[in-house]
Structure 1
Amino acid sequence: MRELESRILGHDERLRGRAAPEQAPPRRPSGTVTFGIAQVAHSASGWATHRAAAAPMARLDQLVRAAADRHGGHVFATDDESVGVAFHRADDAAAWAARLQRAAAGERRPDGAEPGVRIGLHSGESEEVATGYVGAAVDMAARIAAAGHGGQTLASGATAGLLDRSDLHDLGWFCLDGAPGDQRIVQIGAGEYAPIRLTGIRRGHLPLRVGRLIGRDGDLRAASDALARSSVVTLVGPGGIGKTQLALAAARTAAAGHGWDGWLIELAEIASSADVPRAVADVLGVAQRPGHTLTQSIVAVLRSRPALLLIDNCEHVIDGAAELVQAIVAGCSQVRVLATARERLAVTGEQVLVVGPLDPAAGAELFHARALAADRTYDARAHHRYVEEICRRLDGIPLAVELAAARTISHRPVDLVARLDDRLRVTGGRRTGAARHRTLRAAVQWSYDLLTPAERTLFQRLSVFNAPFDLSAAEAVADEQDVDDLLGDLVERSMVTVAFGPFGRRFRLLETMRQFAAEHLREHGHTDLAAGRHARWCLREVTHIHRLLTGPSEIEGVARLGDLWANLRAAVTWACAAADPRLADALVRPVVTELPLRGAAGDRRLGRAHPGHDAGGGPGKPGCACLLARLDRRAPHPERQPGGLPPRGGPVRRTGPAAEPLCASVRIRRRRGPAAVPAGRRGRSTPPG
Structure 2
Amino acid sequence: MRTELPSGTVTFLFTDIAGSTRLLKDVGPEAYARELAVHRTILRAGFEEHGGVEVDTQGDAFFVAFGTAAGAVAAAGAGQRALHAGPIVVRMGLHTGAPSVTPEGYVGIDVHRGARIAALAHGGQVLMSAPTAALLEDEPLLDLGLHRLKDFDAPAQLFQLGAEQFPPVRTPGAVDLPTPITPFLGRERELFAAAALWLDRGSRVLTIVGPGGTGKTRFAIELARFLAEQADGGSVFVPLAPVRDPALVVPLIAERVGASGDSAGAIATRLGDRRTHVVLDNLEQLLPDAAKPLSELLSAAPSLHILATSREPLHVSGETEFDLQPMDEADAIALFLERAQAIRPEIADAAPVRELIHRLDRLPLAIELAAARVKLLGPEQLLERIGQRLDLLKGGRDADVRHATLRATIAWSYDLLVADEQLLFARLAIFRGGSTLADAERICDAEVETVGSLLDKSLLRRRTEPDGTDRFWMLETIGEFARECLAATGEEATLRRRQADQLIALADRAGTRAVIERPQRWDFDSIAPEIDNVRAVLEWAAITDPARGLHLAAWLEAYWVVRDPVEGTRWLGSLLERAPNADPILRAHAMRALGGVNDIFGRPDDAAPWYRQSLELFVEHGAGPQAAHGRFRIRVEHGDEGRRGSGVASDRRLPWGSPKRRSAARRVPGARTSCRKGRAGGRPGARARAGARERGESARSGLDLVGGRTAPLGRRDRAQARQPRRVSRACSPLTRAVARARRPAQRRLCCCRARRSCRVGRRRETGGPALGGDRDGTRPKPDRAVGRLPEAARSSPSDLGPGCVRRGRCRRRAPDGGAGGRSALAGHCARRLRRRAGARRAHR
Report the TM-score when normalising by structure 1.
0.60
How far off is 1:571 after superposition?
A: 0.9
1:245 aligns with 2:218: yes
Look up the match of 1:450.
Answer: 416
Equivalent residue for 1:207, pick from 178, 185, 190: 178
The alignment status of 1:295 with 2:261, answered yes or no, reads no
Q: Distance in 1 between matches of 2:557 and 2:299?
A: 63
The offset of 1:347, in angstroms, is 1.4
Structure 2 match to 1:135: none
Distance in 1 (CA, whole Å) between partners of 2:306 and 2:608 is 65
CA contact (8 A) 1:595 1:662 kept: no
Alignment partner, residue 64 of structure 1: none
1:117-156 paired onto structure 2 within 5 Å: none
Q: C-alpha displacement at 1:176, in angstroms?
A: 5.9
Alignment equivalent of 2:448, drawn from 467, 474, 484: 484
For each residue in 1:313-338, what CA deviation from the matched residue of structure 2 results, as whole angstroms up to 9, or x when unmatched? 11111234423432333233332211
CA contact (8 A) 1:539 1:586 kept: yes
Give the whole-Å Cα distance in 2 for the aligned partners of 1:663 and 1:420: 42
- What is the rounded CA distance, in whole Å, between the counterparts of 1:265 and 1:662 in structure 2? 69
* Equivalent in 558, 561, 583 of residue 548 of structure 2: 583
Structure 1 residues 331, 524: closer, same or farther in 2, change over 3 A? same
Would you say the 8 A contact 1:241–1:398 is kept in 2? Answer: yes
Aligned to 1:338, what secondary structure does the other structure show?
strand
Structural mapping, 1:332-371, within 5 Å: 332-371=301-340
Q: Which whole-Å CA distance do the structure 1 matches of 2:289 and 2:445 have between them?
A: 32
How far did residue 489 of structure 1 move?
0.8
Q: Is 1:475 matched up with 2:444?
A: no
Residues 591, 685 of structure 1: 8 Å contact kept: no
Letter in 2 for 1:216: R
Match of 1:236 in 2: 209
Identity of aligned pairs, percent? 28
> Structure 1 stretches of 5 or more lacking a match?
1-170, 178-193, 621-651
Identify which of 374, 379, 389 aligns with 1:413: 379
Give 1:669 deviation, angstroms: 4.4
**Which residue in the other structure is 1:329 paired with?**
298
Q: Which amino acid aligns with 1:215?
A: G
* Deviation of the 1:653 alpha carbon: 9.4
| Structure 1 residue 602 corresponds to structure 2 residue 567 | yes
Q: Distance in 1 between matches of 2:306 and 2:214?
A: 20
8 Å contact from structure 1 (residues 359, 396) kept in 2 = yes
- Alignment check: 8 A CA contact 1:429 1:440 kept: no
Superposed, 1:630-645 pairs within 5 Å as: none
Q: Deviations over 1:135-163 (max 9, x none)?
A: xxxxxxxxxxxxxxxxxxxxxxxxxxxxx
Q: Which residue of 1 aligns with 2:837?
A: none
Q: Distance in 1 between matches of 2:554 and 2:216?
A: 46
**Is 1:506 the equivalent of 2:467?**
no
Distance 2:466 2:608 in 1: 32
Matched-pair contact (CA < 8 Å) for 1:267–1:314: yes
Q: 1:421 aligns to what SS in structure 2? A: helix
Tell me if structure 1 keeps the 8 A contact 2:332–2:364: yes
Partner amino acid for 2:333? A
- Report the residue type matching 2:186 in the other structure: G
Change (3 A) 1:431 1:530: farther
RMSD: 3.3
Q: Could you tell me how far apart the structure 2 residues matched to 1:279 and 1:667 are?
A: 79
Q: Is the 8 A contact 1:232 1:351 kept in 2?
A: yes
Q: Distance in 1 between matches of 2:489 and 2:772?
A: 44
Between the aligned partners of 2:510 and 2:325, the Cα distance in structure 1 is: 32
Q: Work out the CA distance in 2 between the residues paired with 1:388 and 1:619.
A: 45
1:593 aligns with 2:594: no
CA contact (8 A) 2:550 2:572 kept: no
For residues 475 and 531 of structure 1, the distance between their equivalents in structure 2, rounded to whole angstroms, comes to: 14
Alignment check: 8 A CA contact 1:595 1:607 kept: no
**Is the 8 Å Cα contact of residues 209 and 249 (structure 1) preserved in structure 2?**
no
Give the Cα separation in 1 of the matches to 2:312 and 2:454.
9
What is the rounded CA distance, in whole Å, between the counterparts of 2:216 and 2:607 in structure 1?
A: 49
1:496 aligns to 2:460 (yes or no): yes
- Is structure 2 residue 368 aligned with structure 1 residue 402? yes
Give the structure 2 partner of residue 656 of structure 1.
602
Query: Which residue is equivalent to 1:312?
Result: 281
The residue that corresponds to 2:243 in the other structure is 270
The CA distance in 1 between the partners of 2:314 and 2:609, in whole Å, is 58
1:304 is displaced (CA, Å) by 3.0
Distance, in Å, in 2 between the alignment partners of 1:246 and 1:665 is: 59
Give distance in 2, aligned partners of 1:569 and 1:195. 67
Would you identify which runs of 4 or more consecutive aligned residues in structure 1 move more than 6 Å? 547-553, 659-665
8 Å CA contact 1:287–1:297 kept in 2: the answer is yes
| Residues 655 and 505 (structure 1), Cα distance of their counterparts in 2 relative to 1, 3 Å cut | closer
Distance in 2 between residues matched to 1:391 and 1:549, nearest whole Å: 42
Which position in structure 1 is the counterpart of 2:394? Answer: 428
Distance 2:482 2:442 in 1: 17
Shift of residue 544, structure 1, vs aligned partner: 1.8
Per the TM alignment, residue 305 of structure 1 is displaced from its structure 2 partner at its CA by 3.1
Counterpart CA distance in 2 for 1:338 and 1:618 is 62
Partners of 1:241 and 1:546 in 2: CA distance: 42
Find the residue that maps to 2:321 and give its secondary structure: strand
Code of the aligned partner of 2:526: R
Q: Does the CA-based 8 Å contact 2:214-2:363 persist in structure 1? A: yes
Secondary structure of the equivalent of 1:346?
coil
> Which residue does the alignment assign to 1:380?
348
- Post-superposition shift, 1:393? 1.4
Q: 1:669 to 1:499 in 2, by over 3 A?
A: farther
Taking the aligned partners of 1:239 and 1:249, their CA distance within structure 2 comes to 18
Q: Please list the CA deviations of residues 375-411 of structure 1 after superposition, one character each: whole Å capped at 9, or x if unmatched.
A: 23x3313xx2111111111111111111112111111
How far does residue 660 in structure 1 lie from its aligned partner after superposition?
7.6
**Maintained 8 Å contact 1:596/1:662:** no
Residues of 1 paired with 2:501 and 2:423: CA distance? 19
Offset of residue 487 of structure 1:
0.5
Deviation of residue 451 (structure 1)?
0.7
Distance 1:411-1:347 versus aligned 2 partners, 3 A rule:
same
Deviation at 1:211, TM superposition (A): 3.2
Q: Deviations over 1:92-114 (max 9, x none)?
A: xxxxxxxxxxxxxxxxxxxxxxx
SS in 1 for 2:511: helix
Deviations 1:5-61 (CA, angstroms, capped at 9, x unpaired): xxxxxxxxxxxxxxxxxxxxxxxxxxxxxxxxxxxxxxxxxxxxxxxxxxxxxxxxx
CA 1:464–1:668: 2 relative to 1, 3 Å: farther
Amino acid at match of 1:403: L
Q: Name the CA distance, whole Å, in 2 between partners of 1:372 and 1:455.
A: 41
Match of 2:387, SS state, is coil
8 Å CA contact 1:608–1:661 kept in 2: the answer is no
Q: Alignment partner for residue 534 of structure 2, among 565, 568, 572?
A: 568
Deviation of 1:301 after TM superposition, in Å, equals: 2.0
Structure 2 counterpart of 1:540, from 490, 499, 505: 505
Deviations 1:45-87 (A, max 9, x none): xxxxxxxxxxxxxxxxxxxxxxxxxxxxxxxxxxxxxxxxxxx
Query: Which of 371, 393, 405 lines up with 2:359 in the alignment?
Result: 393
The residue number in structure 1 matching 2:493 is 528
Is the 1:538–1:571 contact (alpha carbons within 8 Å) kept by the matching residues of 2? Answer: no
Seen in structure 2, the aligned counterparts of structure 1 residues 260 and 254 have a Cα distance that, compared at 3 Å, is: farther
